């Protein structure tokens, strides 16, 4: 099938398919005149990539997962190790987001939201944007 058909079958845009090819996550076949041709296995691979990306895996991690998926002699310990690292990263990111939420809630609570120009939200952002005295 061509790239349009592959996009429709996989639910991934043509642009993303081309990107995945560019970064070597996918290597479709080519016709004699150079047109890409996608086999059912390519669609399966695109769906695998999409599922991994929806779980938040980075492109390098998706590449590693693809290699493990395609290696029938893989160790599930390798997959678990990669997933555990991703979980640590996600938990750290959740902690960062929770800290941002707490800060913004505090600032929003301190802001009167009236017609006056004084605003603790702007003041806090401005104070953290000022360069450190050297």
pLDDT exceeds 80 at position 130: no
Determine the structural domain holding residue 120 and report its residue range: 76-134
Tokens of 100: 């941002």
Final residue of a structural domain among 74, 90, 124: 74
Q: What is the mean pLDDT of residues 14-41?
A: 94
Task: Give me the pLDDT at residue 131, please.
Answer: 76
C-alpha–C-alpha distance, residues 16 and 22, integer Å: 10
Q: Are residues 80 and 132 in the same domain?
A: yes
pLDDT exceeds 80 at position 47: yes
- Return the sign of the alpha-carbon dihedral for residues 81, 74, 53, 20: positive
Residue 128: pLDDT band with limits 50, 70, 90: confident
**CATH number of domain containing 61:** 1.10.1660.10
Task: Give me the pLDDT at residue 129, please.
Answer: 82
Label residues 22-45 b or e (16+ Cβ within 10 Å = b).
eeebbebeeeeeeebebeeebbeb
Which range is least confidently modeled, 56-65, 93-102, 109-118?
Answer: 109-118
Tokens of 68: 């493990």
For all residues of the chain together, what is the average pLDDT? 94
pLDDT exceeds 90 at position 89: yes
Whether the CB-CB separation of 28 and 19 falls below 8 Å is answered with no
Whether the CB-CB separation of 45 and 61 falls below 8 Å is answered with no
Q: Are residues 22 and 87 in the same domain?
A: no
Which residues, other chains included, contact 63 with Cβ-Cβ below 8 Å and sequence gap of 6+? Answer: 23, 24, 25
Q: Are residues 60 and 105 in the same domain?
A: no
pLDDT exceeds 70 at position 2: yes
Please give the span between the terminal C-alpha atoms of the chain, in angstroms, as a whole number: 61
Residues paired with residue 54 on neighbouring β-strands, in sequence order? none
Q: Are residues 69 and 88 in the same domain?
A: no
pLDDT exceeds 70 at position 134: no
The 10s digit of each residue's pLDDT in 100-113 is: 999 999 999 999 99
């Amino acid at each position: 099938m061509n790239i349009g058909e592959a996009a429709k079958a996989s639910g991934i845009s043509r642009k993303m398919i081309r990107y995945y090819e560019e970064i070597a996550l996918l290597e479709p076949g080519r016709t004699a005149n150079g047109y890409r041709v996608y086999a059912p296995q390519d669609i399966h691979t695109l769906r695998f990539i999409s599922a991994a990306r929806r779980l938040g895996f980075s492109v390098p991690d998706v590449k590693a997962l693809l290699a493990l998926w395609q290696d029938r002699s893989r160790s599930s310990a390798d997959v678990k190790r990669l997933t555990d690292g991703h979980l640590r990263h996600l938990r750290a990111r959740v902690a960062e987001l929770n800290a941002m939420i707490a800060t913004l809630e505090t600032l929003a609570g301190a802001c009167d939201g009236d017609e006056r120009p004084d605003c603790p939200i702007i003041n806090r952002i401005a104070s953290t944007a000022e360069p450190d005295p050297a």
